[in-house]
């Protein structure tokens, strides 16, 4: 049997699966019956993230993977270039609380961004929280920072090792010391201040694995400062509907306590909305919308007795309405337009509403007053994405960030009175934007639907079918993929690569109708859109099947798994990251039941049939020439538990006997996304090394800094 290094050297990137000494995990006689169909699940034991057997399998798989990656001669060179280009100061837009402006900054390669504040825009920055000092490996992150109305206190939420679980503490901003308050088992929550305390959401302490156990009975509590968590007042729970989310918020003036209730586990895509008006002295919740349907309702702000609400009720592109808490009546404010309002993208500041519309997946910002009168557009510097604009009612100016594929995130200050934007802070990145170009194309999917896609590459590139191309997609959960800059993409582009980002159905690019066309029984449309994107890139000679890689994460990992089952001939390399790979059991872990609204459930006969038809694990077949595949996951991913990737890797390694490597890279102390900068860069270097090596690239091009 050849060692990993020998196999790599011998095959020049075309290692046979037999040449790599994959672990041979045990198989168990586990079957389940779904609506008369018996389904085998021989690697069920890999779902136990705490077992010694699983730990041994992870160790063995990682050895094979890292031995293989370690023999790629330019792996370290790529990592060095990624570190070099990532090493520049990165700032968040400031937010104001009284005389203080708060912002985060990463000096360049810090594992976590650091929170600062300064008095006035010309003040000297002072440290508030440095998460890098909270763990030896830099994997503890700041997940929440919520200031009280008077700015004296802040709720600080910390997450460890990439987990979605957070622990809340309270900081006294005068001394920057923590109070004794400590709140555990917080997940899917904000921190909503009212008076001398705040509302938050939590789950009961999980039984069994904290990283895999199903999360149920989401509860809302009120915590009063300087008291133990055991004294917190239960505000709302619904044990009769254990898979509902209950999320509390308060208006800026703290007059209204708001409660959003969703039930995606029952397949409903919208939410109910209730309120308590503290001014009236009421103690119980009054419904704005009592029943959960497929319509969403999100409060933007209050204007006296009125709640200003963003909704898609009878408006798939969304609109803004006003709800009178006195008369309980709705009235129109900003009507629906042909362009959808970007998901959740209406902000309030300075007595104005800033509405982000999506025009062919690029931002268009309009400003309205609280009566719904349109006042102006905000002129953006180019075609791209803008976000921010939020603030308080007495703000005279707001900040927003603009970005595009070759336009690093730049912070602008917008003066509300003069309606003028000026650059507040622009980064300096070690590349020449003018060397690259981005264009948007529209291609035709299987059913005739026109689908947009962005392409970014070095100017002067020849369309001869030889360009290494990375096709990325997501296609689900009403999430859009707008233009955005990532310094970690530049090293791939520098090697003559093409980055292609397809805006598939299932997202929010064209409003709720676009989302609905990629849900449940229509999920195949998403895969068809992605396959058509690959066919377009090949037909237009941007690339060829020998030079095309496909990548996606989470729901996008599912996407990659599904399309390489359906059209393995289109791709040379596949990178499914933290993917939902077992579509029959996803709802049995952590908050996986929350995805039923988008996917459906194997408990439903019709939905089972659709899920079973594309579930990545259940459609792997012997005799198929799968692309070179690098699966990535992490031990602290408690959103899409690593069992999905574990079982998928074990199954693919079992059935595939072809010429391409099939590897799984399992990170430690990391979660659904990389838990720190170092891990992010290391993972990206490994992905690019794997892609380029398996495309036949033997030496990297020399890159001159700007």
Query: Nearest CA to 170 among 189, 151, 157?
Result: 157
Kindly list the distances between the CA atom of residue 194 and the CA atoms of 112, 148, 306, 662, in Å, as whole numbers in the listed order.
30, 8, 19, 53
Q: What are 62's two structure tokens?
A: 């990682």
CB-based contacts of 553: which residues, under 8 Å, 6+ apart? 474, 577, 578, 579, 673
Residue entry with tokens 């693919």? 652
The end-to-end CA distance of the chain, in Å, is: 47
Query: Phi and psi at residue 532, in whole multiples of 5°?
Result: -65, -35
Question: How many helices (H) and strands (E) in the chain?
Answer: 11, 39
Q: What are 264's two structure tokens?
A: 């995606």
Burial class for 632, CB neighbours closer than 10 Å (0-12, 13-18, 19+): buried
Report how far residue 187's alpha carbon sits from residue 203's, in angstroms, rounded to the nearest whole number: 7
Q: Is the dihedral of CA 131, 133, 134, 136 positive or negative?
A: positive
Q: What are 245's two structure tokens?
A: 């989310």
615: left (phi over 0), alpha (psi -120 to 50) or beta: beta
Q: What are 260's two structure tokens?
A: 């959003």
Would you give the DSSP letter of residue 689? H
The answer to whether residue 672 is catalytic is yes
How many angstroms from the chain centroid is the CA of residue 365?
A: 23
Burial class for 450, CB neighbours closer than 10 Å (0-12, 13-18, 19+): exposed
CB-based contacts of 576: which residues, under 8 Å, 6+ apart? 552, 557, 558, 560, 561, 616, 629, 631, 632, 645, 648
Report how far residue 145's alpha carbon sits from residue 519's, in angstroms, rounded to the nearest whole number: 34
Residue from 246, 587, 672, 675 carrying the catalytic annotation: 672
3-state secondary structure at position 555: helix
Report how far residue 268's alpha carbon sits from residue 273's, in angstroms, rounded to the nearest whole number: 14
The answer to whether residue 189 is catalytic is no
Residue from 554, 615, 645, 689 carrying the catalytic annotation: 554
∠ CA 126-128-134, rounded to 5°: 130
Cross-strand pairs, 40? 31
Report how far residue 563's alpha carbon sits from residue 18's, in angstroms, rounded to the nearest whole number: 24
Contacts 24+ apart (CB under 8 A), 538-541: 538/465, 538/570, 540/463, 541/463, 541/464, 541/465
CB-based contacts of 56: which residues, under 8 Å, 6+ apart? none
Query: Phi and psi at residue 689, in whole multiples of 5°?
Result: -60, -45
| H helix or E strand, kind and range, residue 408 | strand 407-415
3-state secondary structure at position 144: strand
Kindly list the distances between the CA atom of residue 439 and the CA atoms of 52, 188, 380, 442, in Å, as whole numbers in the listed order.
50, 37, 18, 10
Report how far residue 462's alpha carbon sits from residue 459's, in angstroms, rounded to the nearest whole number: 9
Query: Phi and psi at residue 615, in whole multiples of 5°?
Result: -50, 120
Contact between 289 and 259 (Cβ < 8 Å): no
**What is the layout of strands, in order, in the sheet containing 397-404?**
385-388, 397-404, 407-415, 420-425
Residue entry with tokens 């703290």? 254
How many angstroms from the chain centroid is the CA of residue 51?
A: 29
Catalytic residue ranges: 554, 672
């Amino acid at each position: 049997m050849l060692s990993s290094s020998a196999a790599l050297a011998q095959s020049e990137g075309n290692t046979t699966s037999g040449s790599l000494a994959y672990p041979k995990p045990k198989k168990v006689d586990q079957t389940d019956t779904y609506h008369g169909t018996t389904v085998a699940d021989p690697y069920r034991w890999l779902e136990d993230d705490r077992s010694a057997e699983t730990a041994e399998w992870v160790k063995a798989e990682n050895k094979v993977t890292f031995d293989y990656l370690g023999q790629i001669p330019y792996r370290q060179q790529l990592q060095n270039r990624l570190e070099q280009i990532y090493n520049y100061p990165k700032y968040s837009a400031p937010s104001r609380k009284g005389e203080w402006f708060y912002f985060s900054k990463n000096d360049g390669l810090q594992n976590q961004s650091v929170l600062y504040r300064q008095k006035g825009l010309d003040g000297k920055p002072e440290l508030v929280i440095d998460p890098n000092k909270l763990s030896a490996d830099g994997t503890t992150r700041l997940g929440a920072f919520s200031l009280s109305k008077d700015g004296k206190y802040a709720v600080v939420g910390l997450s460890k090792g990439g987990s979605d679980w957070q622990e809340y503490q309270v900081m006294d901003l005068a001394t920057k010391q923590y109070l004794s308050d400590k709140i555990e088992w917080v997940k899917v929550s904000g921190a909503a201040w009212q008076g001398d305390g705040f509302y938050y959401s939590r789950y009961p302490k999980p039984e069994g694995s904290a990283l895999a156990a199903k999360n149920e009975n989401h509860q809302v509590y009120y915590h009063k400062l300087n008291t133990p968590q055991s004294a917190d007042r239960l505000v709302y729970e619904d044990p009769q509907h254990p898979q509902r989310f209950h999320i509390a918020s308060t208006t800026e003036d703290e007059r209204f306590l708001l409660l959003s209730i969703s039930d995606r586990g029952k397949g409903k895509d919208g939410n109910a909305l209730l309120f308590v008006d503290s001014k009236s002295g009421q103690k119980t919740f009054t419904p704005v919308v009592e029943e959960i349907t497929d319509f969403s309702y999100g409060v933007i702000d209050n204007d006296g007795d009125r709640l200003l609400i963003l909704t898609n009720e009878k408006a798939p592109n969304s609109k803004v309405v006003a709800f009178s808490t006195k008369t309980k009546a709705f009235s129109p404010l900003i009507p629906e337009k042909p362009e959808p309002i970007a998901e959740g993208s209406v902000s309030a500041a300075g007595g104005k509403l800033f509405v982000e519309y999506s025009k062919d997946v690029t931002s268009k910002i309009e400003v309205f007053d609280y009566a719904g009168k349109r006042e102006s557009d905000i002129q953006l510097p180019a075609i791209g994405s803008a976000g921010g604009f939020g603030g308080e009612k007495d703000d005279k100016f707001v900040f927003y960030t603009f970005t595009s594929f070759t336009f690093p995130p730049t912070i602008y200050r917008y003066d509300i009175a003069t309606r003028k934007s000026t650059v507040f802070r622009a980064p300096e990145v070690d590349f020449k934007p003018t060397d690259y170009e981005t264009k948007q194309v529209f291609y035709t999917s299987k059913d005739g639907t026109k689908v947009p896609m962005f392409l970014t590459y070095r100017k002067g590139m020849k369309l001869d079918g030889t360009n290494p191309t990375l096709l990325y997609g997501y296609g689900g959960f009403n999430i859009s993929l707008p233009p955005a800059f990532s310094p970690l993409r530049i090293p791939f582009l520098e090697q003559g690569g093409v980055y292609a980002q397809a805006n598939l159905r299932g997202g929010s690019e064209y409003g709720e109708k676009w989302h609905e066309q990629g849900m449940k029984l229509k999920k195949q449309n998403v895969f068809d859109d992605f396959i058509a994107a690959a066919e377009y890139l090949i037909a237009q000679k941007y690339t060829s099947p020998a030079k095309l890689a496909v990548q996606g994460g989470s729901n996008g990992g599912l996407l990659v798994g599904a399309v390489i089952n359906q059209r393995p001939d289109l791709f040379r390399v596949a990178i499914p990251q933290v993917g939902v790979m077992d579509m029959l059991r996803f709802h049995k872990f952590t908050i996986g039941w929350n995805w039923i609204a988008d996917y459906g459930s194997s408990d439903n006969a019709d939905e089972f049939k659709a899920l079973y038809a594309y579930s990545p694990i259940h459609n792997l077949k012997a005799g198929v020439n799968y692309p070179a595949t690098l699966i990535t996951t992490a031990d602290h991913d408690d959103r899409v538990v690593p069992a999905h990737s574990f079982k998928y890797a074990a199954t693919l390694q079992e059935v595939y006997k072809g010429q391409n490597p099939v590897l799984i890279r399992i990170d430690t102390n990391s979660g659904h996304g990389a838990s720190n900068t170092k891990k992010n860069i290391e993972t990206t270097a490994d992905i690019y090394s794997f892609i380029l090596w398996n495309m036949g690239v033997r030496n990297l091009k020399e890159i001159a800094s700007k």
